Amino acid sequence: QVQLVESGGGLVQSGGSLRLSCAASGIIFRLYAMGWYRQAPGKQRELVATVTAGGSPNYADSVKGRFTISRDNAKNTVYLQMNSLKPEDTAVYYCNAPGKLTSWGQGTQVTVSS
């Protein structure tokens, strides 16, 4: 079955950096576009970055210039490098294949203090 395991979250000060990882299994990873989502308390889950099967990235305006999404098909893993973090980036971060998978991982908590 499909399994998505996110890791790398934590507590960081405003302006700091974190690198998130998501290991996928149960799918032919290299064929899927992948994305990172986040959900802050009391808010809907939002898509913040995607990377196509071919490696082309796209970003929400709120993270453009600060976050970088990448993938390693040999490791079935997608990454999110987050720089210049802001308190409004605080959320649980999830990965998924946009529009393709119904399973979600447990997410990884990112907390940015001011």
Encode pLDDT of 17-69 as tens digits. 999 999 999 999 999 999 999 999 999 999 999 999 999 999 999 999 999 99
CA distance 72 to 62: 25
Q: What angle do CA 20, 100, 96 make, to 5 degrees?
A: 10
DSSP string of 34-82, one letter each residue: EEEEEE-TTS--EEEEEE-TT--EEE-TTTTTTEEEEEETTTTEEEEEE
Residue 99 or residue 57, greater confidence: 57
CA distance 11 to 7: 13
pLDDT band at 72 (very low <50, low <70, confident <90, very high): very high
User: How much is the mean pLDDT over the chain?
Assistant: 97
Tokens representing 105? 């991982």
Q: Residue written as tokens 């999110």?
A: 80
- The string of pLDDT tens digits covering residues 32-42 is 999 999 999 99
